[in-house]
Amino acid sequence: MFRLQNIHYLYGLLAIPALLIIYLLMRQWRKKAIHSFGDQKIVEQLMPDVSTAKTTFKFLMILLSLTLAIIGIVNPQIGSKLQEVKRKGADVMIALDVSNSMKAEDLSPNRLERAKQAIAKLLDKLEGDRIGIVVFAGEAYIQLPITTDYGAAKLFLETIDTDVIPTQGTAIGAAIRMSMESFGQDQGKNKAIIVITDGENHEDDAVKAAQEAVDKGISVNVIGMGSPDGSPIPIRKNGTQIGFKKDKEGNTVVTKLDEQMCQEIASAGNGAYVHASNSETGLNSILDEVNKLEKKNFESKMYSDYDDKFYYFLIPALLLMIIELFINEKKSKWVEQLNLFGDKK
């Protein structure tokens, strides 16, 4: 396997054509300057020791040494050993509510964004655990299959919004069942589901789904987002609030956290329930529950050792620079006799 350790230094190669263009312009300017003094052949006779070819040769050596030096700093590496790495961890599926009610701003900046921020912080704390994301509203979809690539998880997390699912609603039961399916057929008490929602479930029997999860050895934890007192759902256009969501009768819709529903789901799922606030989302408490799970051994193959190859480029670069220092720009008698650089006598 091949990789470049410091790939950003490759931008330094852009200096090579720039230096070449500057040199050619300088050569052109020099010719014009000589012509301004008189006939070129007569002027060259007045400067018998000057070797234009050697000057060009020295410049090309500098360009080549600079190119090799930049490649050396980039440090090409070749994977030399493929080994099997064993990891220990739990499997965690996060079921995130993306219904319109999650846009309510009783949590700052709103329920959904607050939940996403909390998930991002959770990813920073995981070590060896696999994680996946299911998003749900009126239906449930897998946003991220279970993985240990926390960087990819953060990228997928950034794309989540209320418009990723066209069907509105809050199908918590469907989200729990979709999360269960995402774990695959592996058995063992090393799996947990974290449901992040405002609890306004209108679509299915979420409590029954949580019980089904427990029967398979999967715990269901719930984080309640929002206030029991409720909050209106703002409508924004081009980032500016233009009003609040209204029902068919023209009344402003107030969305409330259904704590009782959240607690029932967590109880049936043999998990914990935490009410999120602006100061604490509760994911730390849920993470403590995850850490209590039985850890499963995972095996994965990866290139664990890389051989540096920078010296293949830095050593020739250094030698070229040293040789360039010893090349005199003036013509020497023996070189002139050999005519190595094609200079006219």
What's the maximum distance between 2 C-alpha atoms anywhere in the chain? 103
- For residue 341, the model assigns a pLDDT of 45
Identify whether the C-beta of residue 259 lies closer than 8 Å to the C-beta of residue 228.
yes
- For residue 235, the model assigns a pLDDT of 87
Token pair for residue 44? 């060259």
Identify whether the C-beta of residue 232 lies closer than 8 Å to the C-beta of residue 244.
yes
Rounded to whole angstroms, the Cα distance separating 311 from 76 reads: 10
- For residue 66, the model assigns a pLDDT of 93
How far out from the chain centre does Cα 107 lie? Answer: 27
Beta pairing class for 191-197 and 76-89: unpaired
Domain ranges of the chain: 2-75+309-338, 85-300
Rounded to whole angstroms, the Cα distance separating 244 from 252 reads: 6
Q: Which of 319, 342, 170 is closest to 258 using CA atoms?
A: 170
- For residue 87, the model assigns a pLDDT of 67
Beta pairing class for 234-237 and 240-244: antiparallel
- For residue 335, the model assigns a pLDDT of 47
3-state secondary structure of 238: coil
- For residue 305, the model assigns a pLDDT of 66
DSSP single-letter state for residue 253 = P
Phi, psi of 129 (to 5 degrees): -75, 150
Identify whether the C-beta of residue 196 lies closer than 8 Å to the C-beta of residue 282.
no
Rounded to whole angstroms, the Cα distance separating 339 from 220 reads: 85
Q: What is the DSSP string of 12-25?
A: GGGHHHHHHHHHHH
- For residue 345, the model assigns a pLDDT of 46
- For residue 332, the model assigns a pLDDT of 55
Q: Which residues of the chain have pLDDT under 70?
A: 1, 34, 37-51, 79-87, 186-188, 201-203, 281-282, 293-305, 329-345
Rounded to whole angstroms, the Cα distance separating 7 from 10 reads: 6
Q: Which of 244, 269, 263, 241 is closest to 254 using CA atoms?
A: 244
Measured from the Cβ of residue 255, the count of other Cβ atoms closer than 10 Å reads: 22
75-106 core/surface letters (b: 16 or more CB in 10 A; e: else): bbbeeeeeeeeeeebbbbbbbbbbbbbbbbbb
Rounded to whole angstroms, the Cα distance separating 95 from 170 reads: 11
- For residue 288, the model assigns a pLDDT of 78
- For residue 284, the model assigns a pLDDT of 73
- For residue 200, the model assigns a pLDDT of 73
- For residue 50, the model assigns a pLDDT of 60
Return the CATH class of domain 85-300: alpha beta
Rg value, the chain, Cα: 34
| Cβ-proximal residues to 143 (8 Å cutoff; 6+ apart), any chain | 96, 133, 134, 135, 156, 160, 164
3-state secondary structure of 78: strand
